[in-house]
Amino acid sequence: MIINTTILSWVTFIYFGSSIFYMFKMVTGKEFWGPFASFIALAGLIAQSFALILRWVESYKLGIGHAPLSNLYESLIFFAWAIVFLYLIMEWRIKTRNLGAFVIPFAFLFMAYASFSPDVNSGIRPLIPALQSNWLISHVITCFFGYAAFTIACGLGFIYLLKGLERGQSSRPFLRFLPDREVLDELSHHSVVIGFIFLTLGIITGSVWAYSAWGSYWSWDPKETWSLITWLVYASMLHSRFVRGWRGKRMAIMSIVGFASVLFTYFGVNYLPGLHSYF
């Protein structure tokens, strides 16, 4: 195994550890665990960034240099990276460590899928002609930042629904440690907004790439169509909030539905009949 994939598979365990600490923090409500969890997540992020740079350098040493954003393995790794990166920024800005238990596990799962699934090839492969485009790099980066923001919104949606179980003093104590519903709703909305802007950018950069690679900025192939569907789901969500004033539970559910659509755009599309010849 090459060194970068070894580091990346260790990062998987680091995120697992961080998730566990976040859960301790959430369930016990003890501030004590929080800094641990954040610190471990940060250490994982740094190690992961290092491994990504290493992978980039290695690809150049192999004479097939390209940014590590070109296949399923690399995109999963970048997805996890973006989730942790955005999450830590959010944590730093809102100064509460109660949300990681529902966000970092996603990063762990994507890393674990990338590192340990037999369907995912972790080798550094050269770029086939269609992928040799700088637009592809900006496309992948913007899309996955968007997906990461939607992942956080989905995690917050789950927390919101969980918080909804709280009834008076008698209910499970750990629910009390979660942020207030208004705060969750606001945070989730911000994540959706960030995700929406990045997804829009991702669709645009993707069409520019398509325009230079296969002759049409939009050809309704399943992946494009599903990214449009995802975009429409979030657009309806934003409209129901802006104009109809929907808040709370409905939004939480919509952020989960939106994320399901993201996952389908990413993974599910491969099972649909495709038309594009991507060489």
Q: Which of 103, 114, 102 is nearest to 78 (CA)?
A: 114
Sorted by sequence, the CB contacts under 8 Å of residue 81 that are 6+ apart come out as 45, 48, 49, 52, 107
How far apart are CB 179 and other proteins at their closest, in Å? 14
Q: Which of residues 77-136 bind other proteins (CB under 8 A)?
A: 125-126, 128-130, 132-133
Least CB distance to other proteins at residue 182 (A):
11
- The CA-based angle 64-227-203, given to 5 degrees, is 60
For the segment 188-207, give every residue that binds ligand HEM (CB under 6 A): 196
Q: Could you tell me which of 52, 47, 46 has the C-alpha nearest to residue 122? A: 52
Q: Per this entry, what is the length of the chain?
A: 279
The interface partner of residue 118, options being ligand HEM, other proteins, none and the CB cut-off 5 to 8 Å by kind, is none
Please tell me the chain's helix, strand, coil percentages from 3-state DSSP, rounded to the nearest 5.
Answer: 75, 0, 25
Residue 240 touches other proteins, criterion: CB under 8 A: yes
Q: Looking at 150-158, 236-244, 248-256, 263-271, which segment touches ligand HEM (CB under 6 A)?
A: 236-244
CA 52: distance to chain centroid? 17
Nearest CA to 126 out of 46, 207, 193, 68 is that of: 68
Q: Which of 220, 242, 267, 278 binds ligand HEM (CB under 6 A)?
A: 242
Q: Would you tell me which residues interact with ligand HEM (CB under 6 A)?
A: 196, 235, 238-239, 242-243
Q: Would you tell me which residues interact with other proteins (CB under 8 A)?
A: 64, 125-126, 128-130, 132-133, 186, 193, 196-197, 200-201, 204, 207, 211-218, 220, 222, 225-226, 228-229, 232-233, 235-236, 239-240, 243-244, 269, 272-273, 275, 277, 279
